[in-house]
Amino acid sequence: MGLRGKSLLHQKASQKALEAAELSIKDSGVHATAAAAQFGVSRSSVTQGRTVLEFGTPQDIADVRNGKIGVRTLADRIRKDLPPETREELRKRVGKTLTANHLVALATDKLLWAKLGPALRTFSELPHPKELISVVKGNNGRKRIINMYLHNATNWIEEFTNEWKRSQEGTSDT
């Protein structure tokens, strides 16, 4: 096989690795090893894809998708520009065997995300609250449900928002 053919195969593998990395990020219950097997790529290429997705620019990601650069080459470049503590965190991610506790944590994360992700998408797709008031007010059963759950839901959203902000600033208790 000529160099060109090998390059095209490599590009396809890089594109698959990026897709597998997206899956492992979007669905926290899908470990990089499982995503790699699903897409027919190595676990390390999925890890490199995650590096590109997490730290690369939109143009970097597009370049891998379009086959302009391999995922390994780009991930290596990106890692070189990261602060030492971030590089160390990435190094710790790679090559670990999953313990029983880690597998339980992944399963728990998957179950929780299965609830949170769709709930957030559903909330974001709702019409303006003013448009929903008439839907609720005209039905006693709906009013009862609003009265039962709205306070707790509002508190939960506020607490989650605060924790999310703290986690983005690096000051969360979690």
Distances from the Cα of 98 to the Cαs of 103, 105, 113, in angstroms? 6, 10, 20
Specify the pLDDT at position 3. Answer: 38
Q: Quick one: which of 66, 22, 28 has its CA closest to 47?
A: 22
Specify the pLDDT at position 114. Answer: 79
Q: Which of 65-69, 78-82, 90-94, 99-103 has the lowest mean pLDDT?
A: 99-103
Q: How confident is the model at residue 174 (pLDDT cuts 50, 70, 90)?
A: low
What is the domain partition of the chain in residue ranges? 3-93, 100-169
In this predicted model, what pLDDT tens digit does every residue of 8-55 receive, in sequence order? 455 588 899 998 888 887 766 677 888 888 888 988 898 899 889 888
Secondary structure E strands in 41-168:
none
Specify the pLDDT at position 27. Answer: 66
The answer to whether residues 36 and 43 touch, using CB atoms and an 8 Å cutoff, is yes
Q: How confident is the model at residue 4 (pLDDT cuts 50, 70, 90)?
A: very low
Specify the pLDDT at position 68. Answer: 92
Q: What sign results for the dihedral spanned by CA atoms 34, 100, 55, 79?
A: negative
Model confidence at 92: pLDDT above 60: yes
pTM recorded for the entire structure: 0.49
